[in-house]
C-alpha cells in the first residue's frame, strides 16, 4: 500500500483531486453533471493522441508529428467523403481516417528506422510536410458539411438528461472509444512481446538487440500505431467540432506531450503507464477548463497552465534529488 | 584427455592494419576455470569477442565442441553454449528481474503474447540454479551492481551455457561480493560449466582460476597452471617489466606545523570525531569497509558535504570549507572514485580538461582566455605526466583509463593544489598504470604536497602510505604508523566484516 502511494500516478491523482476540490469550492458548478460530462468529452482527443505519445516516450524518443497526421487523415477523409456523398456505416469513416494515419506513420517509421535518425528530428520535418501537403495539394477551405455517418456519430451520446437550467447534459460516445483504445494500449504494452519490446528499447537499445528483439519491427509498430491513433483522434475531433479544418490541431502537440509527461512517462524512455497518461490528460484538461470557471482572464490561463505543469512535474523530482544529495549510509 | 569445449588456433585480427591479436591460440576444457589476464589494450576483449562470434578473425581457426566454424556468427556461438557477460551486463534497468531473466526465452519460443506466470517460473528457476535470492519483481535499476551481475549470470545459464565468459566481472564489487561471485563460479564448475574470467586484478586471478593465459600486445606470452605463478611473475608477463614494490617512507620533522590539521570533524549521520594531521610530503591512507564513512570524509574535506562540527586548519590557520569553491581556494584537490563520470569532461579535449579549474588565472587583460598561456600549461603537464596522446586536442575519452587518471591529476596540479584527496585512485586500472599513478603520487609528495588516499585496496594503502587510519562506522578506530605489519591491518579489516 505504501508503495502504491509512492508511485507517480497516485501522486498525480492526489493533485487532480485537490485541484478539483479547490475549483469546486470556488465555483460549485464545477461538480455539476453537465460540466463533468463536458470535461470527459474534452479529454478524448488529447487523450487518444497522448496514448500514442506514451508509446514513443517509453521507447525513448519524442514524436511531434501526430497532430499533422491527425489533421491530414481527418481532412482527406472529410474531402473524399464529401465528394462521394458517403452514407455508409460510420465505422468506415473511422477506418479510412485511421488507415491514412497508419500510412503516414509508416512513412515516419521508414525514415526513422532506415536512416537511424532521432524521431524528434524526423517528426519535425514530417509535421510540416504532412500539413503542408494538405494545404498545397488538397485544399485550404474549412469543410462544414460533414458526411452523414460522421454527423450521426457526432450526436451519439449517453446518459442524456435535462438540467434544471434547461441545459442538456450528456456523455458523448467518444469517451468510450477513448477508454477502449486506452485499454487496448494497456493490454498491448503489458501482454504482448512487442509491447515489452517498446519498454526494452527505452531501457537499453543495445541490450534489446542482444536479447533478440527486432528493433526495426518495434519501431514500425510504434509509429504505425501512433499513426492509427492520430487518424482516429483526427476524425473524432472533426465530429466533435462538426467541421474539418485543415489549420486545426497542429500547434497542440506540446500540450499533449506535457499531459503524457505529467502522467509519469519519462522523456529519457523506459517508463510510463496508460493509467498515468489518463490521469495526466485529465489533469491538464481540468486545469484548462476550470480556469474559465474560476473566472481567470484568458491571458492568465496560458501562464497558469504552464505554472501548474512545472509544479506538478517538479515536486516528485525534488524528492528524488534530495535523496541523492543527502549523505547515504551505505550498507556494510 | 577430454575434448576441448573451445579451441581457437593461430588467430590473427587486425584493425586498420594494427594487430589486435596476433597468432593467439587458446583451448578451454569443459568445467575449467580459466583466467585471461593482461593490461588494458592487450587484446583480451578482441579475443573474447572472437570466441563469441562478434569479431571475425582475419586468420586462424575456431572450433567449438569439435565443430569447426569458418564464419562464426554470434547466434552460432550462443547455440554452442558460449555466453558472454559484458561489463555493462546488457540488462534492462527499467524492467523487473523476472522480465530481464526470461524475456529471451519468451522471444525464442516465438511467442506473440507474454506469459507472465511462465516468465516468473523461468526466472525463479534461473536464480535457484545459482542459489541466489533476488526479488523477482524489483526493477533492475534498484539492485546493487553485484545483484545485477548475478542476474546477468543467471540469464546466461538459461541458454544451456557451457562456457560463461565474464569481462572484468569484479571491477565494481566489494570484497564480500567478489567472494560470493567466486562461489557461484565454483558452483558452475561442479555442473561442468566452464568459466573464462577476464581480469587484471592479480589476487583474484590467483584466487579463482585453475589455468591462466596472459596476453600482452596482442600476443599470448604465457600460459599454464595458475599455481605455477605468483603476483610477481604475472606482473612481469603482463607488463614485460619487473615491477618491484618499494615501501613509501616519510621522515617527519617534529617542530613543523602540519599542512592540514583536522580536528574532531563530524557530519551528522555520516561520521564523527575524525581527527588527524597531514604534513607536507606525507601520504596517508584512510581505509575501512564500504560504508565505513571514508568517502563521506573525503566529500566533507572537499566541501561537497560540509561538516557540522569540528574544524580544519591549513598551515595552522583555521579555514572554513563549506563549498567546493572554498576547498579549491584553500588548495585542496579531490580525485573522485569514478574518474570517468566525476572527474572529467570525457567529450572535451584533454587540454580543456587540464585547464578547466584554472581559467581564472589564464585570463588576459580583456578577460579572454590567453590561449598561448593555456597551451603552454597544457603541454607542460602532458609532458610531465607522460600522458600518451598525439594531440592535446583529442577528446579525453580517446585515452586509456590510466591516462585519463593522469589528466585528472594534471588538472589539479595545474591548479597548484597542495592537498590531494584521492578516492580509490586505481580502481579499474591495470597493474602497469597503477604503478605509474603511485609513482606520480610519490613525486607529488616529494614536491611538498600532502596526499590522502581513500582506498580498500590494502596492498596499495600499505605500500604507498606512511600512516594508515582505519575507519569503521563513521569513526577512526585505529592508526597504523611507520613500520606496521600489512597482515595485521588486513586481518583487522577482515574482522570488522
pLDDT at A219: 96
Cα B413 to Cα B89, B243, B403: the distances in Å are: 36, 26, 15
Q: DSSP letter at A165?
A: T
Residues of chain B neighbouring A203 (CB-CB closer than 8 A): 92-95
What ranges in A88-204 are assigned the alpha helix state H?
90-115, 119-133, 148-154, 174-191, 193-203
Most confident residue range from A10-14, A137-141, A274-278, B376-380: A274-278
Q: Is the pLDDT of residue B411 over 60?
A: yes
CB contact under 8 A, B95 and A327: no
Mean pLDDT of all residues in A24-41: 89
Please state, in angstroms and rounded to a whole number, the distance separating the CA atoms of residues B240 and B466. 29
* CB-based contact B185:B195 (threshold 8 Å): yes
pLDDT attached to residue B493: 75
Query: Is pLDDT at A322 greater than 50 in this prediction?
Result: no
User: In the predicted model, what is the mean pLDDT of residues B64-83?
Assistant: 88
Q: Is pLDDT at A190 greater than 70 in this prediction?
A: yes
Q: What is the pLDDT of residue A321?
A: 45
Contact between residue B169 and residue B149 where contact means Cβ atoms under 8 Å apart: yes
What is the pLDDT at residue A40? 94
pLDDT of res. A312: 67
Would you call B420 helix, strand, or coil by DSSP? strand
* pLDDT class of B264 with cuts at 50, 70, 90: very high
| pLDDT for position A94 | 94
B90, B103, B291 ranked by CB distance to A330: nearest: B291
pLDDT at position A44? 96
- Which SS3 state, helix, strand or coil, does residue B221 take? strand
A177 pLDDT exceeds 90? yes
Q: Are the Cβ atoms of B291 and A327 closer than 8 angstroms?
A: no
Q: Is the pLDDT of residue B5 over 60?
A: yes
What mean pLDDT, rounded, does chain B reach? 85
Could you tell me which of B92, B88, B114, B111 has the C-alpha nearest to residue B101?
B92
Place B497 in a pLDDT band, splitting at 50, 70 and 90.
low
Cβ–Cβ < 8 Å for B135, B101: no
Query: Tell me: the pLDDT tens digits for B192-240?
Result: 999 998 887 777 888 888 999 999 888 899 999 988 888 888 888 887 7
Q: How far apart are CA A188 and CA A283, in angstroms?
A: 24
Record: contact A212-B267, CB cut-off 8 A: no
Question: Which of the listed ranges A26-40, A52-66, A298-312, B241-255 does the model predict with the highest average pLDDT?
Answer: A52-66
Mean pLDDT of all residues in chain A? 87
- Banded pLDDT at B254 (limits 50, 70, 90): low
Q: At what angle do helices A119-133 and A66-83 cross, to 10 degrees?
A: 20
For residue B111, which residues of chain A lie inside 8 Å, CB to CB?
A: 193
Ranking A321-325, B136-140, B172-176, B462-466 by mean pLDDT, the lowest is: A321-325
Inspect the interface and report whether the beta carbons of A200 and B111 lie closer than 8 Å: no
Give tens-digit pLDDT for A89-145: 889 999 999 999 999 999 999 999 999 999 999 999 999 999 999 999 888 889 888
Q: Tell me how crowded residue B412 is: count the other CB atoms within 10 A of its CB.
A: 26
Q: Is the pLDDT of residue A49 over 70?
A: yes
Does the pLDDT at position A4 exceed 70? no
Mean per-residue pLDDT, B344-367: 84
pLDDT tier at A174, thresholds 50, 70, 90: very high
Question: For residues A312 and A15, is the Cβ–Cβ distance under 8 A?
Answer: yes
Q: What is the DSSP letter of B138?
A: S
Which architecture characterizes domain A2-318 according to CATH? Orthogonal Bundle (1.10)
Tell me the pLDDT tens digit for each residue of B294-310. Answer: 888 999 999 999 998 99
B292 touches chain A (CB under 8 A): yes
Q: In which band, very low, low, confident or very high, does the pLDDT at A46 lie, cut at 50, 70 and 90?
A: very high
Please tell me the least confidently modeled range out of A10-14, B78-82, B293-297, B356-360.
B356-360
Query: pLDDT grade, residue B466 (50/70/90)?
Result: confident
What's the pLDDT tens digit per position in B112-141? Answer: 899 899 999 999 998 988 888 899 999 998
The CB density around residue A275, as the number of other CB atoms within 10 Å, is: 16
DSSP secondary structure code for residue B342 in this structure: I
- Predicted confidence (pLDDT) at residue B426 exceeds the cutoff of 80: no
Query: Where does residue B372 rank: exposed (0-12), middle (13-18), buried (19+ CB within 10 A)?
Result: exposed
Residue with cell string 590531494 = B420
CA distance B136 to chain A (A): 16
- The share of chain B scoring above pLDDT 90, in percent, equals 24
| Greatest mean pLDDT among B144-148, B175-179, B406-410, B451-455 | B451-455
Cα gap B295→B286, rounded to integer Å: 9
List the single range of A259-263, A292-296, B316-320 with lowest mean pLDDT.
Answer: A292-296
pLDDT above 50: residue A327: no
Torsion of CA B380, B386, B392, B396, to 10 degrees: -130
> What DSSP assignment string belongs to A248-309?
SSTT-HHHHHHHHHHTT--TTSS---HHHHHHHHHHHHHHHHHHHHTT--HHHHHHHHHHHH
Of all residues in chain B, the one with the smallest CA distance to A268 is: B94
How much is the pLDDT for A330? 35
Per CB-CB distance under 8 Å, the chain B contacts of A207 are: 90-92
Q: Which of A317-326, B84-93, B156-165 comes out lowest in average pLDDT? A: A317-326
Kind of pairing between the strands at B309-314 and B317-319: antiparallel
- Answer whether B486's CB lies under 8 Å from B287's CB: no
- The string of pLDDT tens digits covering residues B12-42 is 988 777 778 889 999 999 999 999 988 777 8
pLDDT(A74) > 50: yes
pLDDT band for position A278 (cuts 50, 70, 90): very high
CA distances from A146 to A48, A78, A82, A276 (A): 22, 6, 7, 34
Residue A331 to chain B, least CA–CA distance (Å): 6
Contact B107 A200 (CB under 8 A): no
pLDDT at B473: 87
pLDDT at B151: 92
Q: Domains of chain B, with CATH numbers?
A: 6-239 (3.40.50.300), 260-496 (3.40.50.300)
Interface ipTM:
0.83
Q: What is the pLDDT of residue B243?
A: 61
Range B79-100 average pLDDT: 89
Give B31→chain A minimum CA distance, Å: 25
Do the Cβ atoms of A270 and B104 come within 8 Å?
no
The pLDDT, as a whole number, for residue A324 is 39
Quickly list H helices, A144-192: 148-154, 174-191
pLDDT of A256 reads 92
Evaluate whether A196 touches B103 at the Cβ level (below 8 Å). Answer: yes
pLDDT at B484: 66
Residue pairs spanning A and B at CB distance below 8 A: 72
Which residue out of B85, B92, B175 would a mutagenesis test of the A interface target, given it has the greatest number of A Cβ atoms within 10 Å? B92
Q: Which residue of B has its CA nearest to A202?
A: B94
For residues A31 and A327, the model is more confident at: A31
- Following CA atoms A10, A11, A12, A13 in sequence, which dihedral angle do they give, to the nearest 10 degrees? 50
pLDDT at B382: 87
**Which residue of B93, B111, B270 is in closest CB contact with A204?**
B93
Q: Please state whether beta strands B450-454 and B467-472 pair in parallel, antiparallel, or not at all (unpaired).
A: unpaired
B332 in Cβ contact with B419 (< 8 Å): yes
Amino acid at each position: 500500500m505504501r508503495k502504491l502511494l509512492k508511485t507517480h500516478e497516485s501522486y498525480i491523482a492526489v493533485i487532480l483531486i485537490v485541484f478539483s476540490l479547490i475549483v469546486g469550492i470556488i465555483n460549485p458548478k464545477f461538480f455539476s453533471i453537465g460540466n463533468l460530462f463536458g470535461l470527459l468529452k474534452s479529454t478524448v482527443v488529447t487523450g487518444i493522441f497522448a496514448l500514442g505519445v506514451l508509446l514513443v516516450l517509453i521507447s525513448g524518443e519524442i514524436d511531434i508529428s501526430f497532430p499533422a497526421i491527425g489533421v491530414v487523415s481527418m481532412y482527406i477523409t472529410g474531402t473524399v467523403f464529401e465528394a462521394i456523398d458517403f452514407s455508409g456505416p460510420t465505422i468506415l469513416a473511422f477506418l479510412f481516417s485511421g488507415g491514412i494515419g497508419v500510412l503516414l506513420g509508416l512513412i515516419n517509421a521508414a525514415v526513422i528506422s532506415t536512416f537511424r535518425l532521432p524521431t524528434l528530428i524526423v517528426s519535425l520535418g514530417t509535421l510540416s510536410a504532412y500539413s503542408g501537403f494538405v494545404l498545397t495539394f488538397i485544399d485550404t477551405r474549412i469543410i462544414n458539411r460533414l458526411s452523414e455517418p460522421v454527423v450521426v456519430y457526432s450526436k451519439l451520446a449517453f446518459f442524456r438528461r435535462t438540467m434544471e437550467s434547461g441545459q442538456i447534459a450528456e456523455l458523448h460516445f467518444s469517451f468510450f472509444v477513448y477508454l477502449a483504445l486506452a485499454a487496448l494500449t494497456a493490454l498491448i504494452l503489458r501482454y504482448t512481446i512487442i509491447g515489452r519490446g517498446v519498454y526494452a528499447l527505452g531501457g537499453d537499445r543495445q541490450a534489446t538487440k542482444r536479447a533478440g528483439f527486432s528493433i526495426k519491427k518495434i519501431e514500425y509498430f510504434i509509429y504505425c500505431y501512433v499513426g492509427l491513433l492520430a487518424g482516429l483522434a483526427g476524425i473524432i475531433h472533426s465530429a466533435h467540432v462538426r467541421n474539418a479544418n485543415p489549420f486545426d490541431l497542429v500547434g497542440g502537440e506540446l500540450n499533449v506531450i506535457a499531459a503524457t509527461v505529467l502522467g509519469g512517462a519519462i522523456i529519457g524512455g523506459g517508463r510510463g503507464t496508460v493509467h498515468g497518461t489518463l490521469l495526466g490528460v485529465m489533469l491538464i484538461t481540468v486545469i484548462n477548463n476550470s480556469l474559465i470557471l474560476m473566472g481567470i482572464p484568458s491571458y492568465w490561463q496560458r501562464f497558469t497552465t504552464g505554472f501548474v505543469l512545472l509544479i506538478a512535474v517538479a515536486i516528485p523530482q525534488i524528492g528524488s534529488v534530495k535523496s541523492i544529495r543527502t549523505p547515504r549510509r551505505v550498507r556494510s | 584427455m577430454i575434448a576441448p569445449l573451445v579451441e581457437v588456433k593461430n588467430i590473427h585480427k587486425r584493425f586498420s592494419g594494427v594487430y589486435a591479436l596476433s597468432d593467439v591460440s587458446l583451448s578451454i576444457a569443459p568445467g575449467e576455470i580459466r583466467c585471461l589476464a593482461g593490461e588494458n589494450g592487450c587484446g583480451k576483449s578482441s579475443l573474447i569477442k572472437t570466441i563469441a562470434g562478434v569479431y571475425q578473425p582475419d586468420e586462424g581457426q575456431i572450433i567449438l565442441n569439435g565443430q569447426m566454424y569458418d564464419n562464426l556468427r554470434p547466434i552460432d556461438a550462443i547455440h554452442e553454449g558460449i555466453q558472454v557477460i559484458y561489463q555493462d551486463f546488457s540488462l534492462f534497468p527499467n524492467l523487473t528481474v523476472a522480465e530481464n531473466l526470461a524475456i529471451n526465452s519468451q522471444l525464442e519460443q516465438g511467442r506473440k503474447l507474454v506469459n507472465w506466470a511462465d516468465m516468473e517460473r523461468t526466472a525463479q528457476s534461473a536464480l535457484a540454479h545459482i542459489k541466489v535470492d533476488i526479488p523477482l519483481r524489483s526493477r533492475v535499476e534498484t539492485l546493487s551492481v553485484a545483484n545485477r551481475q548475478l542476474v546477468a549470470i543467471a540469464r546466461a545459464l538459461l541458454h544451456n551455457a557451457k562456457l560463461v565468459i565474464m569481462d572484468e566481472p569484479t571491477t565494481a564489487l566489494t570484497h564480500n561480493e567478489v567472494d560470493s561471485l567466486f562461489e557461484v563460479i565454483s558452483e558452475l564448475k561442479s555442473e561442468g560449466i566452464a568459466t573464462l574470467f577476464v581480469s587484471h586484478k592479480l589476487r583474484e586471478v590467483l584466487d579463482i582460476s585453475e589455468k591462466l593465459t596472459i596476453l600482452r600486445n596482442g600476443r599470448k606470452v604465457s600460459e599454464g597452471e595458475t599455481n605455477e605463478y605468483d603476483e610477481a611473475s604475472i606482473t612481469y608477463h603482463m607488463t614485460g617489466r619487473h615491477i618491484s614494490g618499494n615501501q613509501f617512507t616519510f621522515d617527519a620533522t617534529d617542530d613543523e606545523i602540519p599542512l592540514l590539521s583536522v580536528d574532531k570533524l563530524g557530519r551528522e549521520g555520516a561520521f564523527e570525531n575524525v581527527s588527524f594531521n597531514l604534513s607536507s610530503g606525507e601520504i596517508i591512507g584512510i581505509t575501512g569497509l564500504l560504508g565505513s564513512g571514508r568517502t563521506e570524509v573525503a566529500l566533507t574535506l572537499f566541501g561537497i558535504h560540509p561538516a557540522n562540527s569540528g574544524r580544519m586548519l591549513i598551515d595552522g590557520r583555521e579555514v572554513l570549507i563549506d563549498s567546493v569553491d572554498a576547498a579549491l581556494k584553500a588548495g585542496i584537490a579531490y580525485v573522485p572514485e569514478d574518474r570517468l563520470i566525476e572527474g572529467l569532461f570525457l567529450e572535451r579535449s584533454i587540454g580543456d580538461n587540464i585547464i578547466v579549474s584554472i581559467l581564472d588565472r589564464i585570463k588576459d587583460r580583456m578577460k579572454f582566455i590567453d590561449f598561448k598561456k593555456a597551451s603552454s600549461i597544457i603541454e607542460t603537464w602532458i609532458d610531465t605526466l607522460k600522458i600518451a596522446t598525439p594531440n592535446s586536442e583529442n577528446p579525453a575519452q580517446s585515452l586509456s583509463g590510466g591516462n585519463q587518471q593522469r589528466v585528472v591529476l594534471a588538472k589539479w596540479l595545474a591548479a597548484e593544489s597542495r592537498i590531494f584527496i584521492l578516492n580509490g585512485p586505481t580502481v579499474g586500472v591495470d597493474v602497469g598504470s597503477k604503478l605509474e599513478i603511485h609513482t606520480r603520487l610519490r613525486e607529488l609528495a616529494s614536491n611538498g604536497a600532502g596526499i590522502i588516499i581513500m582506498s580498500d585496496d590494502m596492498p596499495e594503502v600499505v605500500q604507498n602510505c606512511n600512516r594508515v587510519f582505519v575507519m569503521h562506522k563513521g569513526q577512526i578506530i585505529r592508526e597504523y604508523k611507520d613500520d606496521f605489519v600489512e597482515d595485521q591491518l588486513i586481518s583487522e579489516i577482515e574482522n570488522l566484516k
